[in-house]
Homo-oligomer: A and B are copies of this chain.
Amino acid sequence: MGAGNHQTPGLMKPKADMSVVDRILNGEIRAAARLIRDIEDGRPVAREALKTLYTSSGQAFVIGITGPPGAGKSSLADKLIEAFRGQGKKVAVVAVDPTSPFSGGAILGDRIRMNRHASDDGVFIRSMGTRGHLGGLSAATSDAVTVLDAMGWDIILVETVGVGQDEVEIVRTAHTSLVVMVPGMGDDIQAIKAGILEIANIFVVNKADRPDTDRTVRDLENLLDMNLPSEDEWRPPVVRTVALRQDGISELMEKIQEHRNYLLSSGRLARFEEEKSAQRFAELLKEGLFRQVHDRIQHEDRLKGILEAIVNKELDPYTAVDRILEEKLK
């Protein structure tokens, strides 16, 4: 990788991107923060940097934290940071809010709780919001995790605000996903989306000093019983915590370690990485192909005519697409 030093300067590529990458690989926080902002904004320079950083990634362990607003996810993240720091691990946090336009390092709402770690060099906290396109947030989060991973953070916590489909997509890129609940959700347990049940590796019932705790834990266990895993599969444990009082944190840390061991010993980690790579490749290919063709027909001044014909029902969108696909094959 150091071969560039031997090249004649005149033949070298522009250094701008290289230096950003080098600075990030050297652990420079400010360079990483700026690149993550470029990722959010979809700037091409970010994509170039990611090419190099990707090949240096793959060492970090990624933990997703999702659950309804008010479940205490940030307090829980705060305690997990503390626990991992106690083990000497470096921890980065990506706090994702699909409903918020705020980003670029803004600390959202009660995430201020995590702020006490701000002076600790072994902790890095970054917020991401919807800058523009919603669908791109899960891809942007995945890219941000790649940056932090390449940078050498041992643990990356990805925290989301809600439990919608966006959050499912975001948390799906984590090795171990925690779904945080609060007691007394009542009917809401019924409303848990199939997707959430699929992504949860560990359920956390936080604020477990509240009266309805036993019922909520029982409801969750029943739900899990209805979806019994096959023999060698992981059954998500239900862990009780009171994050603000530190209760249950060490048990939660144990379960996280157990799940990690399971991923490693069962060969699921390898399969997980394969699936994640295939998905990321497919997303990028889809987006790239579309942009290429869309730009071309727009440049050829054909897009407006096609869309008008579709609106006027003179042309159907299926045939319009078929024709473009046939052009590409020529």
Interface string of A49-64 (1 = CB under 8 A from B): 0111011111000000
Contact string against B for A residues 126-168, beta-carbon threshold 8 Å, 1 for contact and 0 otherwise: 0000000010000000000000000000000000001011100
Find chain B residues with CB under 8 A from A69 CB.
Answer: 187, 190-191
- Of the candidate stretches A212-220, A244-252, A254-262, A275-283, the one touching chain B is A275-283
A316 within 8 A of B: yes
Q: Tell whether, in the assembled complex, residue A281 and residue B54 are in contact, meaning their CB atoms are under 8 Å apart.
A: no
Chain B residue, CB-CB nearest to A278: B307
A118 within 8 A of B: no
Choose among B162, B294, B317, B318 the residue that contacts A193 (Cβ–Cβ < 8 A). Answer: B162
* Residues of chain A at interface, number, CB under 8 A: 62
A219 to chain B, nearest CB (A): 15
- List B contacts of A166 (CB < 8 A): 165
In the complex, chain B residues whose CB is within 8 Å of the CB of A318: 47, 50-51, 54, 284
A165 contact from B51, B164, B319, B329, Cβ within 8 A: B164
Rounded to whole Å, the gap between the CB of A240 and the closest CB of chain B is: 22
Question: What residues make up the interface of A, taking CB atoms closer than 8 Å to B?
Answer: 47, 50-52, 54-58, 68-70, 98-100, 134, 162, 164-166, 187, 190-191, 193-195, 270, 273-274, 277-278, 280-282, 284-290, 292-294, 306-307, 310-311, 313-322, 324-325, 328-329
Could you jot down 25 A-B contacts, CB within 8 Å? Answer: A50-B316, A50-B318, A51-B316, A51-B319, A54-B316, A55-B314, A56-B313, A68-B191, A100-B194, A162-B193, A164-B164, A164-B193, A274-B307, A274-B311, A277-B311, A281-B306, A281-B321, A282-B294, A284-B320, A284-B321, A289-B289, A289-B290, A289-B328, A292-B325, A292-B328
